[in-house]
Structure 1
Amino acid sequence: MINNTIDCRFCSVVSKANKEDPIGTAITCDHWIIMETPQPWPQEIYQQNPTIKSLISAYQELVFKYKIQLKPVLIAPDREYSEPGLTRILYYYRPAHLFSKFEKQEFIVPENQAAALVTAIFQQLLQKPNNLSDFQKYQQQTSHIRELMICTHAQVDLACGRFGNPLYRQLRKQYAPISNGNLRVWQSSHFGGHQFAPTLIDLPQGYFWGHLEPSVLDLLVEQNDSVLGLRKYYRGWAGLKQFEQIAEREIWMQSGWSWQKCLKAGKLLAVETVAEGCQPDWAEVQIDFVDPLAQIKGSYQVRIESCGEVMTACNSATVMELEPVKQYRVSHLVRLE
């Protein structure tokens, strides 16, 4: 275990060495706005880029006033995928309460219309009058394409640049070209969890992965062996909250790859009451599912309990401050028909 970090300035090295479990750290969201934005991306890119800055107040209204779970992500234009003078915008949304993957709309618009398109999407989310139909001519038929977005945003944390870039290059050069156009690989801005670098988002499924290693990329991309091999890299599914994500991993590991196809949703049944800023020692959740292939539905009731703490670093630095993070395990899982 690493306790002295004088010579170890990458937070993800400490996290991995101390065996911090990444599960339960995926961002929960119902909507994604993903926009091509040329690099470099300074740490304050959202305040410094004129197009993005013009959208900030509307975004804040959606998230803080109307409590819409919307995640913005930037992707770097790609020499093969992208076109000069045009901006690609991907909008993903949760299609129903029970679901297995996010629905996608992709647009490629002139740069000077990018803000107008995002504004129209925001207005649609608020069920306000909008001109989204004006952008139909820019819509792309790409719902079949899997998108892998690797955080390489070194300006937010050095670990994402140090470990994200090699992983991005390997996925981009080795896997995207042989996918028959069914896989694209992108460099992305920060989306949380840099202590798990290299970390990526897998859409349209909405899976978050971290602490990734070259040796597991075949399994991640091709899904050609037991899903158990991905257990320690799984941060969780964006359709669920923290304790539900922990439960869902256990169900997936027991069920195998077929679990991906199941429509699902989660809810918190009970949780230990603790002081603000403290993590509870236990929680009980329910995961409801529908298996469209087997034509069955059911629920899992799951109890999650603390199983200790590990020391981790949330940010890379010359001299890092370590802090304890509670770890969890599934102590009871039962399937209800």
Structure 2
Amino acid sequence: MQTQHTHELLTTDCHFCSLVSKANGEDPIGTAGTYDHWLIMEIPQPWPQEIFQENPTIKSLMGLFQELIFKHGVKLKPMLIAPDREYSHPGSTRLLYYYRPANLFSQFEKQEFVVPENEAAALVTAIFKQLMQQPNDLSKFQQYQQQTSHIRELMVCTHAQVDLACGRFGTPLYRRLRKEYAPASNGKLRVWQTTHFGGHQFAPTLTDLPQGCLWGHLEPDVLDLLVNRNGSISGLRQFYRGWAGLTKFEQIVEREIWMQVGWTWLDYLKAGEVLAQQKVSEEDDANWAEVRIDYTVPDGSVSGAYEARVEVCGEVMSALNSAKEMELEAVKQYHVSRLVKVE
């Protein structure tokens, strides 16, 4: 059935990878990526496919970025956002920097700066050097810091030059969130267009900061639930890619706990650990994993842990990129076969 459905899409639906993924029932959980830091900078559109290599400001920073990632092992996610007519300041560049505040945490801490365009590269350099524990001049940028820790930022990928699905499905979702939800928030929510942050096949994709939750395959009728959190959380299950504070198998378990506990789980401080896993090869994802999630409530009065087993429950055919000649891949699907509260 899945193969037949895929064939219909390939011949009638413009070859969008996200339509193949969704039609074949690919579960997006566990695909969020794992980050301790986010660095998000305003860069005007258009964005070419290789903007990180082609934009002069960003290109000048790539050497430091690669040193940070590969030499120092810092888990940092760079993203670009398009300036907004209402939010942005001509002649200035906005930079959002989020960081993991502790081992157990519920959301990322934020620093925001709006600097003159010609100082943006120096600011990024100072942040990179701070992360490498090297001398830096970050203090000189304090005058540009913004008090916006109360603002929730929704980031929607519309980077069509990387994958057509992100433009086709991300753009209308962005426009609806920007037009309807941001103005109704009394200044507590901003909505941005972003460059690609992984997972073309789950377009439209969204990153919710400071929480650090990622979403995919989003549909207009779940936006109220996602933004306002005013209904049954189970309605979001199939759209959840995971929380960036955890790794793949930890994300899969965390969703199950969230579905049991409800919305209050978002505020719990948490951390994960993979206790054991069975890998067939370096290139292949494990067939099972044993996972522990530790948690404490915000006031510290209650703490505990869950232990779980994650197992392969099948596979689906998916397309990782949109193309005229679609290349399909088998993708393992997982379920939580055991989940127990141990403390």
TM range (shorter): over 0.9
1:71 aligns with 2:74: no
TM-score (norm 2): 0.97
Corresponding residue of 1:330: 336
Counterpart of 1:20 (choices 20, 26, 50) is 26
How many residue pairs get aligned? The number is 337
Corresponding residue of 1:92: 98
List structure 1 runs of 4+ shifted beyond 6 angstroms.
none
- SS at 1:109 equivalent: strand
Q: Indicate if the aligned counterparts of 1:6 and 1:319 stay in contact, CA closer than 8 A.
A: no
For residues 127 and 36 of structure 1, the distance between their equivalents in structure 2, rounded to whole angstroms, comes to: 25
Counterpart of 2:239 (choices 199, 223, 233) is 233
1:192 aligns with 2:201: no
Shift of 1:237: 0.3
Counterpart of 1:318 (choices 307, 324, 342) is 324
1:52 aligns with 2:58: yes
Shift of 1:294: 7.2
- SS at 2:275 equivalent: strand
For residues 260 and 155 of structure 1, the distance between their equivalents in structure 2, rounded to whole angstroms, comes to: 34
Shift of 1:280: 1.7
1:171 aligns with 2:177: yes
Counterpart of 1:3 (choices 6, 12, 15) is 6
Corresponding residue of 1:150: 156
- SS at 2:11 equivalent: coil
Alignment of 1:96-245 (within 5 A): 96-245=102-251
Corresponding residue of 1:295: 301
| Gap regions ≥5 residues in structure 1 | none
For residues 92 and 324 of structure 2, the distance between their equivalents in structure 1, rounded to whole angstroms, comes to: 40
Shift of 1:315: 0.3
Q: Indicate if the aligned counterparts of 2:106 and 2:268 stay in contact, CA closer than 8 A.
A: yes
For residues 6 and 132 of structure 1, the distance between their equivalents in structure 2, rounded to whole angstroms, comes to: 54
Corresponding residue of 1:308: 314
2:47 counterpart letter in structure 1: W
TM-score (norm 1): 0.99
For residues 266 and 170 of structure 1, the distance between their equivalents in structure 2, rounded to whole angstroms, comes to: 35
2:6 counterpart letter in structure 1: N
For residues 124 and 295 of structure 2, the distance between their equivalents in structure 1, rounded to whole angstroms, comes to: 33
2:187 counterpart letter in structure 1: G
- SS at 1:3 equivalent: helix
Identity of aligned residues (%): 70
For residues 6 and 113 of structure 2, the distance between their equivalents in structure 1, rounded to whole angstroms, comes to: 48
Q: Indicate if the aligned counterparts of 1:285 and 1:301 stay in contact, CA closer than 8 A.
A: yes
1:256 aligns with 2:262: yes
Q: Indicate if the aligned counterparts of 1:6 and 1:320 stay in contact, CA closer than 8 A.
A: no
Shift of 1:119: 0.3
Shift of 1:233: 0.2
| Gap regions ≥5 residues in structure 2 | none
Across the aligned residues of Structure 1 and Structure 2, the Cα RMSD in angstroms comes to 0.8
Shift of 1:7: 2.9
